[in-house]
Structure 1
Amino acid sequence: MTLTAPPSERAVPAPKATASRRLSSFLTTHPRARLSLLLTAPLFWLVVVYIVALVLLLVTAFWSVDSFTGEIRTDWTLDNIITVVTGALYQTVTLRTLGVALLVTIIDVALALPIAFYMAKVASPRMQRILVIAVLMPLWASYLVKAYAWRSVLSQEGILEWVLAPFGMHTPGYGLPATVITLSYLWLPYVILPIYAGLERVPDSLLEASADLGGKTWRTIGSVVLPLTFPAIIAGTIFSFSLSLGDYITVNIVGGANQMLGNLVYTNVGAANNLPLAAAIALIPIVIIFGYLALVRRTGALNNL
């Protein structure tokens, strides 16, 4: 008589390894492959959208526009580069743009340092959260809304004129001062946040040690705080400097008749329909930014970011 095991006690065959399960096991045991797969999509997007676009921009700058038909000719020429480098207009606008970007960066760093220091080292945890939200709140509003709000404030009949009039002072109106004020306001959060993050990493024990050794407030800031937060300050300046170099909307709104490099690019792309010349002009802020990054890298400030 043959005994047969009940169905519940019969051996169940092991499930076959599917392709997804094998891939999951492989990625679990190979962290480098997992990291490579994770970074493939963003790196591909960065290469295609950013690097390829820059290369195409560089190539377009060496083309020309037919003066009769207005069509772009792909014949290689240095005329656009020579025009941009030697033209008095482009030299003047480049110096104006560079000066505005530097002034905006200096103002933002001067304002961001005390604000970030208070947020990181003086304010209570609850106040820190409130201040972080306060710094981030302007970023929730539209760029155009903020720019037009400053246009209203700085106008001859704006609220600032109403405040200054009893003291015999007047608003500067539209022009370079208004451009610097508006850009400084727009990019200030981008400077505060990196410096705040850098100050948070400074141990409080170092500040206490400096005080115990007799270091005054300014000596502690100059000898302890600033050297340790220098990389964070540089990170903030990169944001404000580069964003100011490429801006053209704010200048159109509050800059009056003044132009910056972004305005020349916009004019040549739109009204003049001269894409090669616009590409040649756009190379100026790109070269300036790469030069600034190379200079910053030589100082070693980016190594600790």
Structure 2
Amino acid sequence: MTAIEATGTTTSRLSAALWRRPGLLVAALLVLPLAWLGVVYVGSLLSLLLQSFFSFDDFTAQVKQELTLSTYAELFRPSNFDIIKRTVTMAALVTIASAILAFPIAYYAARYARGRWKALFYLGVMLPLWSSYLVKIYAWKMILSREGIISWFADKLHLTPVLDGWLSLPVVGGNSLSVSPTGTFLVFVYIWLPYMILPVQAALERVPQSLIEASHDLGATPASTFRHVILPFTMPGIAAGSIFTFSLTLGDYIVPGIIGTSRLFIGQAVYTQQGTAGNIPLAAAFSVVPVIIMAFYLWFAKKQGAFDAL
């Protein structure tokens, strides 16, 4: 028997064995991905969790590898807790605004756009995602600056006093939109909006047209049809989109680092503590906060049927 024939025989036997035992084939295909998931992904999360139970000696600038909850207690200091509240509030506002903006766009695409118009819709939604993340942020920094196009439009429309009045407010204002919480909010909504539009559009396409027609035939007003027919079908899509907008805002540190004030978000706190301060345990504890928040958020989103719309 030649080497080629032997190789062919071995391959045939292996194929026959895998055909008789499909579970073995599935295991062979999944062993490497599961090993990667278990070692790299889960392993890094467990390492992060372990680091958060250590403490940091400010005098020696060394990590004390003794299990303690003192690092988590530091999260409840007013300065650190304000960072958590600020980040969660921003993530919630961005999610709500994205849902409000995404719905009419997604509704038009699902109900009226056909052929080329639907292709243009997908192109328009996806196009911002193809450009550089940093380029978009720095472009928005120029747009929101005192010399930017928004200030120029406000001046041409004689709305500069209104803009200045808004910027003078203590919570949302600043020297300009580019160094204010309002600017941070606008950039977050712009960047994450496509992640809300697409799930909502997919959910709206699954609304049976017959139900809408039946609602009209039974004398329901457009508002009643929206509230009792369209919105319940759309909620899984909104919940699915909110998973992206909420979680991505929760962990982002680049946008608030370039657009906004000096007040930190969770991502910036993690970057600062593990970099400049060298306080790895506190950085790890801050990193665990979004994980815990998203665990509860995913549980709630699952109850809303969000995973059916992903």
Counterpart pick for 1:79 among 70, 89, 114 = 70
Q: 1:42 — aligned with what?
A: 33
How far apart in 1 are the matches of 2:57 and 2:10?
58
How many percent identity over aligned positions? 41
- Give secondary structure in 2 for the equivalent of 1:18: helix
For 1:65-214, list aligned pairs within 5 A.
65-85=56-76, 87-166=77-156, 167-169=158-160, 170=163, 172=167, 173=177, 174-214=179-219
How far apart in 2 are the matches of 1:201 and 1:32?
35
How far apart in 1 are the matches of 2:105 and 2:20?
46
How far apart in 2 are the matches of 1:203 and 1:229?
12
Does 117-126 or 99-108 show the bigger shift? 117-126
For 1:256-275, list aligned pairs within 5 A.
256-275=261-280
The structure-2 alpha-carbon separation of the partners of 1:238 and 1:214, relative to structure 1 and needing over 3 Å to count, comes to: same
Find the structure with the greater CA-based Rg.
1
Q: 2:174 — aligned with what?
A: none
How far apart in 1 are the matches of 2:74 and 2:180?
27
TM superposition shift of 1:268:
0.5
Q: Do structure 1's residue 278 and structure 2's residue 283 form an aligned pair? A: yes
Structure 1 runs not aligned, ≥5 long: 1-14
TM superposition shift of 1:300:
4.6
* Residues 193-228 of structure 1 deviation map (CA, whole Å, 9 limit, x = unaligned): 111122222232322332333333222222222212
TM superposition score normalised by structure 2: 0.86
Equivalent residues of 2:253, 2:267 under 8 A apart: yes
Q: Do structure 1's residue 224 and structure 2's residue 229 form an aligned pair? A: yes
TM superposition score normalised by structure 1: 0.88
How far apart in 1 are the matches of 2:288 and 2:249?
15
The structure-2 alpha-carbon separation of the partners of 1:117 and 1:34, relative to structure 1 and needing over 3 Å to count, comes to: farther
TM superposition shift of 1:65:
3.1
- Give secondary structure in 1 for the equivalent of 2:277: coil
The one-letter code matched in structure 2 to 1:84 is L
TM superposition shift of 1:138:
0.4
The one-letter code matched in structure 2 to 1:52 is G
For 1:18-37, list aligned pairs within 5 A.
18-37=9-28
The one-letter code matched in structure 2 to 1:168 is L
The structure-2 alpha-carbon separation of the partners of 1:38 and 1:218, relative to structure 1 and needing over 3 Å to count, comes to: farther
TM superposition shift of 1:61:
0.8
Q: 1:12 — aligned with what?
A: none
How far apart in 1 are the matches of 2:18 and 2:204?
38
How far apart in 2 are the matches of 1:35 and 1:205?
42
TM superposition shift of 1:187:
0.3
- Give secondary structure in 1 for the equivalent of 2:75: helix
The structure-2 alpha-carbon separation of the partners of 1:153 and 1:64, relative to structure 1 and needing over 3 Å to count, comes to: same
